[in-house]
Amino acid sequence: MFHWLESLLPRLPHYGFVLVFIIVFLNNVGLPLPGEALLLGAGFVLGRAAGSLWEPMLAGAAASFLGGICAFGLGRRLGHDSLERIHWLHLTPRRLAWPEQFLKRHGPKTVFIARFIAVFPPVVVNLLAGMTKLSWRTFLSLNLTGSTLYTIVYILIGYFFGKQWIYLRALLSPTVWYAIFTAIALIVLGIIFRRPLSGYAARAFPRAANRGHN
Give 85-115 pLDDT, tens digit per residue: 666 666 766 777 777 888 888 888 889 988 8
pLDDT for res 1: 43
Number of Cβ within a 10 Å radius of residue 74: 20
CB 99 within 8 A of CB 198: yes
Question: Of the spans 15-19, 104-108, 206-210, which averages the highest pLDDT?
Answer: 104-108
Single pTM value for the model: 0.71
User: CA neighbours within 13 Å on the CB side: how many for 134?
Assistant: 27
Report the distance separating Cα 68 and Cα 75, nearest Å: 10
The residues near 196 (Cβ < 8 Å, ≥ 6 apart) are: none
pLDDT at 188 over 50: yes
Higher-confidence residue of 203 and 120: namely 120
Q: What Å distances lie between residue 70 and 58, 63, 65, 191, CA to CA? A: 18, 11, 9, 21
pLDDT for res 209: 44
pLDDT at 16 over 90: no
pLDDT for res 150: 92
pLDDT at 83 over 80: no
pLDDT at 68 over 90: yes
Percent of the chain with pLDDT over 90: 21
